[in-house]
Amino acid sequence: MVSSTTAATAPRRGWRWAALFVTVALLSACTGQPSTNTQPPAHTLVVGATLEPPTMNPSASPAASIPQVLLYNVYETLVKMDAAGDLKPWLAQSWNISTNRLVYTFQLNPAAHFASGKPVTAQAVVTSFNRIKTEPTIQPPLVEQMAVVKSTEAVDDHTVKVTLNHPSNLWLYDISSTAGIIYDPDGLATLDTTPAGSGPFVLRSWNKGQSVVLSANPSYWGTPPRLDTVTFRYLDANAMNAAMLSGDIDVVSNLQAPDALDQFSDPSRFSVIEGTTTGEVVLALNNARPALKDVRVRRAISMAIDKKALLDTVWNGKGTLIGSMAVPTDPWYEDLTSINAYNVAGAKKLLGEAKVSNLSLKLRVPTTAYATKSAQFVESALRQVGIKVTVEELDFATWLSEVHNGGNYDMSIVAHVEARDLRRFTDPNYYFHYDNSTYDKQFEAADEAPANELVPLMRKAVRTLAQDAAAVWLFALPNLVIAKPTVTGIPTNAATLSFDLTMVSNR
């Protein structure tokens, strides 16, 4: 709203500025001096997102909102995964693997340096990798991913040798994400608030509850970014759509209300990018709960839910039905939706065989659109087979603390977005509390097998998860991005945790 005083004086102020501009222009013309206003216009981008990072330290929290902002933008890794899921050189110009598949030798790019100006050295890699294995505050998934590493050595300033305890097909992919971030050793003490990376952007400000602002790193060692500043604004689904329609933001990073897609159908105002993500929307089951230790109960829960109807109702039919912990971009993906498929009569029969009646379960979900909408559908579906479900919605920080970290839940719903994250089910302390030695052996055999045997062996492990109903896989999230037509360079698929800005521009 404009005050009456401002409204009354605005025309006169505009006339004075116009007169001043004409005077300066005439003086320049008379004296032959060029105008000193030669700065190019700033290239800015405002990205709408739903979940704010709880910290700026990617190693301290499993929240995907942290690498969404920082991975590849502020922090870099030795190797990078592209939108097709292929590994590319990054801080490492090249690497080779020994014939026994135990020793990886990386050649660092000698031009690479941190935002502080210090070079990215082999010793910085050693420090970054070793801290995951030694610091007690590191989030457990990263510790699991790096447990295979026996030693990391600096051969010289630009050569790193990593020796594994056993061959691993997944380790190189793991270090293309959060586990492989190379930190400036001098900045480790303040990572919670001040990133210490080598990427094309640096953190300008973090306005908690509102936004994170990145600015171009003026001394970036690689190809300079095409944007001067990027603001991630945190909004709920409806507010984000309204902001996009009004032009207040340039990008919706992932549409949280696919039924609103028609609002963005005007190609003169909006570009719609539709692809895939690595996000499995999982109805997590706490396998440590007495009732849920029985595979018949877990299978019954899965069979009571019509996943196709859920996808149509909750996510406007967008996304992919998957059936287990794999998405279409995974090389071992296969459609397993026929296992424990929708069958109300079959679900009731299994519950009868398990002698379960009057079962009451608490479903604790974060306040994200896909989770809260799915929770209501699940509650109704399980009611039809005699299971009472109490839904409790939690802000994401509370969900992380009480459900993910504390294991205080019966069921939950969240999108697991880290790529190729089957290892989660080998850890009985992870919040699934799933403990199956058969699966563990199958996963390990696939990970350690010769590369040409990886896919068939991993498919066997993925099938075991489905048959054992270790969780209920509702659907794989689509990548639905809305952008102004002036914005280019956004990848079609979200194959990593990063909202990768390295090729994005805004004309």
Could you read off the pLDDT of 255-308 as tens digits, one per residue?
988 989 999 999 999 999 999 999 999 999 999 999 999 999 999 999 999 999
Domain boundary among 185, 217, 247: 185
Instruction: Say what the alpha-carbon torsion angle 114, 212, 246, 275 is, to the nearest 10 degrees.
Output: 60
Indicate left, alpha or beta for 375 from its phi (over 0: left) and psi (-120 to 50: alpha). Answer: alpha
| Residue 195 within a domain | no
**In this structure, what are the phi and psi dihedrals at residue 427, rounded to the nearest 5 degrees?**
-110, 105
Place of tokens 């498929």: 341
Model confidence pLDDT, tens digit, residues 321-380? 999 999 988 999 999 999 999 999 999 999 999 999 999 999 999 999 999 999 999 999
Model confidence pLDDT, tens digit, residues 442-462? 999 999 999 999 999 999 999
Lowest-confidence pick of 21-30, 233-242, 436-445? 21-30
The answer to whether residues 211 and 27 touch, using CB atoms and an 8 Å cutoff, is: no
Domain that holds residue 155: 83-185
322/469 same-domain check: yes
177/286 same-domain check: no
Number of domains in the chain: 2
| Residue 126 within a domain | yes
| Residue 132 within a domain | yes
Q: Would you tell me how many other CB atoms lie within 10 Å of the CB of residue 263? A: 15
Q: Tell whether the model's pLDDT for residue 2 goes beyond 70.
A: no
Looking at residue 89, its pLDDT comes to: 97
Half-sphere exposure for 44 (CA within 13 Å, toward CB): 8
176/309 same-domain check: no
167/306 same-domain check: no
| Residue 438 within a domain | yes
344/465 same-domain check: yes
Q: Tell whether the model's pLDDT for residue 17 goes beyond 50.
A: no
Q: Tell whether the model's pLDDT for residue 40 goes beyond 60.
A: no
173/306 same-domain check: no
| Residue 30 within a domain | no
Q: Tell whether the model's pLDDT for residue 485 goes beyond 50.
A: yes
Sign of the Cα torsion 91, 102, 447, 289 reads negative
| Residue 445 within a domain | yes
| Domain at 371, CATH number | 3.10.105.10
Q: Tell whether the model's pLDDT for residue 13 goes beyond 90.
A: no
Percentage of residues of the chain with pLDDT beyond 70: 92
Bridge-based pairing of strands 411-416 and 271-285 is antiparallel
334/463 same-domain check: yes
Instruction: Say what the alpha-carbon torsion angle 370, 373, 375, 381 is, to the nearest 10 degrees.
Output: -120
| Residue 426 within a domain | yes
283/414 same-domain check: yes
| Residue 264 within a domain | no
162/288 same-domain check: no
Band the pLDDT of 23: cuts 50, 70, 90. very low
| Domain at 142, CATH number | 3.90.76.10
CA dist 54 → 25, 58, 236, 274, 362 (Å): 50, 10, 16, 28, 25
pTM: 0.85
